[in-house]
Structure 1
Amino acid sequence: MSMSDLFKEATARTEADVPYSRPGTPGGVRIQHIGFIGLGAMGYIMARNLAVNREARPPHSPPVLVWNRTASKAEKLAKEVGESKIRVAQDIEQIARDCDIIITNLSNDQVVKEVYEKLAAELQSSTHNKILVETSTIYPTLAGELDALFSSLPNVNLITSPVFGNPAVADKAQLLIVMSGDYRSKKEIAYLLVPAVGRKVFDLGGNIEKAPTFKLIGNSMILGTLEVLAESFTLAEKSGIGSSLVLDLVKDILPAPTTVAYADKMVHDKFDGSVGFAIDGGIKDASHIRRLTAEHNSPMPNIDVAHQHMITARAIHTAQKAAGKQEYETLDWSGIVAGTRVAAGLDAFDSRKHLNVVRVEKEED
């Protein structure tokens, strides 16, 4: 296959994964100033990928302006990719003033609300067009509250755009991107984020609360899978089968990359949340899912159990930290298996301490 054919194939695949026609650019390529707020495990990688992707940042584009509550993370990113591609903002207000597109990726609903209140206050007098892109996992009604903050500002559009994928997926720019809100803004941001940050966009329409709802439904499937895996591996340990054999079975009958990756973490006690998804975030998401199920009278008992098992795991990890005996500073949400292990009388985080029950067949006389 020739290089031109490869290019056509890649272009066709990208176009199919973005549910909008490519935005027009009268008078040439529009140079936009991008701002990014929140450089956690996911935000750091997303901002980096935006900064280094040529399609997202045409020649002569200004550096991506970043801000993080812990300034050292922003400084680290600027050093990693160079100040020609990343520049550190003095504060959130500077990003509001200087940037045309402002992307946020934040830890929880309260932080999201605080950041957007600061943005809204700074943008009250703005006469320039701004697009705000909220990529965190938030409760749907918060999206409506954020939208109301900017309803009186005709030059500001907010879209919700949560993403699916862990840091390893983000590193490969393979995130799944969900969008809801203003059509023209979604169209513009879709081509900014794909393929720089993600590989596909799900369009949830104009209701800004739909994308956060979709994200919680997706996370319920992931969390439910984690709970089933945790229970199965624990039973395998107690019955003398061993979790390694069950991991092989998972690879054969449930070969989804995310499922296999989390299964491998559980079996090999790889619970480092600094390179995964911190269990605090998992508990927050589970709380949101449970609230959503209550509002819609749609029970998810599996999520109720998973929520309790994550709390158990966090409680054990917190006690270990207090005693200075923890292996990881931050616990990954695959540590949910600790909840099922201790309920079955096993060690929470060290499977080497498990005393497997070996079944012996009774010989006939």
Structure 2
Amino acid sequence: MDKPENPHLLHVLHQHAETNPFSRPGTPGHHAVQIGFVGLGAMGYPMARNLAKWRKEHVYGSIPVLVWNRSKSKVDELIKETGEGLVVAADSVEHIANECDVIFSNLANDEVVRTVYNQFAKALESFQASSPTKSKIFVETSTTFPTLAVELDKLISTIPSAHFVASPVFGAPAAASAAQLLIVMSGDYRSKKEVAHILHPAVGRKVVDLGGNVEKAPTFKLIGNSMILGSLELIAEVYTLAEKAGIGAAPVHQFIKDIMPAPPLISYGDKMLHDKFDGTKGFAIDGGLKDSQHIRRLATELDTPMPALDAAHQHMLTARALYANQVRLGQAQFDVLDWSSLVAGTRVAAGLDPFDSSKQHNKPVPED
């Protein structure tokens, strides 16, 4: 008679398959590879930190993560936070390319990504002259236009034994800090398998595989961000309507928590409700405008109208313009504006104060 299957083991295997579609790579268990990380912004910083900490705790013989950032102060801050032996500062982008087996990047925009990858390629071309290139995987986690992934893949594939994976991530900086990102991937299968087990669960709660076409993951990222941005626009509109109707935004926010308790709706609704527009603690409005430009370009190329996204884009522009005037007058409260501040666009269109909800014209009056 066959031995009964272990229910706990079956549950663990099933749970793993739901959160990571890749079986473990050929090397038994997690193994020590030299990881590099380029870009320590609002997302890159917690991702690099979580990678370093997780590997130190779970990977036998783990090697410190090699990091580089344009501003070295962020590297120093990360080293101080993680403690000795988890993170090491790289001398340059070229140093990362030459020394690391798996290189992650999380950068501000397409042009910065393109510049860094050209530096990677040139460094490895020079390195090849004196030493054969060992196997390397380059993983781009930023939000970029899909055709850039094709460009990067072609650039990296000219280097022997080098592979490219497009792997943008979903989640605000708070989700990145809590290692709760949703990770999407497209590109070379063996490379994705290796990368998936480096990122999950160290950085994210789930990996989604979108196949071998490197354009698919960045395309999916733009589609997902269009849903988030469209939701922000809807929340901004209904909160503004509630203020003008004398109901107030607070009961509507509670309605969201009662009926549609999605984390983004709740968190961004809370920002709008309490005017918490500090972009250093969220997602900067310049990044939101960059993403909306990419989404509108994609929609235009595919003849797909997206009026809600168009409205959100215009309201972000309005918010940024209004805030620029506050900066000029010395009245600005934040160094960086969060993209949830797009509610300023709906407020001024309705005759309300853009950034101070306490100044609404028709404050709610409790019924007798």
Q: Given the two structures, how large is their TM-score scaled by the length of structure 2? A: 0.93
Structure 2's unaligned 5+ residue stretches are 1-5
Alignment of 1:317-336 (within 5 A): 317-336=323-342
Between 145-154 and 76-85, report the one with greater CA deviation.
145-154
Other structure's SS at 1:45 match: helix
Q: Does structure 1 conserve the Cα–Cα contact (< 8 Å) formed by 2:56 and 2:62?
A: no
Are 2:106 and 1:114 equivalent residues in the alignment?
A: no
**Aligned residue among 17, 40, 43 for 2:19:** 17
Q: Which deviates further from its counterpart, 125-134 or 221-230?
A: 125-134
Secondary structure of 2:157's match? coil
CA distance in 1 between counterparts of 2:73 and 2:56 reads 28
How do 1:80-229 residues align onto structure 2 when only pairs under 5 Å count? 80-124=81-125, 125=128, 126-229=132-235
Q: Return closer, same or farther for 1:24/1:341 CA change in 2, 3 Å cut-off.
A: same
CA offset digits 1:211-269 (Å, max 9, x no partner) = 00000000000000000000000011111110001111111121111111110110011
Partner of 1:32: 33
Structure 1 residues 324 and 7 mapped into 2: Cα distance closer, same or farther (>3 Å)? farther
Structure 1 SS opposite 2:320: helix
CA deviation vs aligned residue, 1:311-359 (integer Å, no higher than 9, x gap): 1101111111222211111111100101101111111111111121669
User: Contact 1:265–1:271 (CA<8 Å) still a contact in 2?
Assistant: yes
- Correspondence for 2:243: 237
Which of 267, 290, 294 is equivalent to 2:296? Answer: 290
Q: State yes or no: 1:271 paired with 2:277.
A: yes
- Aligned-partner Cα distance in 2 for 1:78–1:304: 42
Structural mapping, 1:54-93, within 5 Å: 54=55, 58-93=59-94
User: Could you say if the C-alpha distance between residues 75 and 9 of structure 1 is closer, same or farther in structure 2, counting changes exceeding 3 Å?
Assistant: farther
CA distance in 2, matches of 1:149, 1:57: 33
| Cross-structure match for 2:346 | 340
Q: Rate the CA distance shift 1:239–1:59 in 2: closer, same or farther, 3 A.
A: same
Q: Cα distance 1:54–1:360, how it changes in 2: closer, same or farther (>3 A)?
A: closer
Q: Is the 8 A contact 1:14 1:194 kept in 2?
A: no
Moved over 4 A (4+): 4-12, 357-361
Q: Cα offset for 1:59? A: 2.8
* Percent of residue pairs bearing the same amino acid type: 59
Opposite residue 102 of structure 1, the aligned amino acid is I
* Alpha-carbon distance in 2 for matches of 1:21, 1:282: 35
1:354 to 2:349 alignment? no
Q: 1:23 is matched by which residue type in structure 2?
A: P
Amino acid at match of 1:20: F
Return the alpha-carbon distance in structure 1 between the equivalents of residues 188 and 332 of structure 2: 46
| Cα distance change of structure 1 residues 360 and 190 upon mapping to structure 2, 3 Å threshold | closer
Alpha-carbon distance change, 298 to 55 in structure 1, aligned in 2, over 3 angstroms: farther
What CA deviation, in whole Å up to 9, does each residue of 1:70-112 have, x standing for no partner?
Answer: 1100110011102300011111000011100000000100100
Shift of 1:55: 7.5
CA contact (8 A) 1:35 1:102 kept: yes
Could you say what secondary structure the match of 2:36 adopts? strand
SS of 1:40 mapped into structure 2: coil
Partner Cα separation in structure 1 for residue 354 and residue 104 of structure 2: 38
Alignment gaps of 5+ in structure 1: none
TM-score (norm 1): 0.94
RMSD of aligned Cα (Å): 2.0
Give, in whole Å, the separation in 2 of the partners of 1:107 and 1:196.
22
Deviations 1:112-170 (A, max 9, x none): 00000000111122511000000000000111111111222231000000000001111
The answer on whether the counterparts of 2:35 and 2:65 sit within 8 Å (CA) in structure 1 is yes
User: How many Å apart are 1:24 and its aligned residue?
Assistant: 1.7
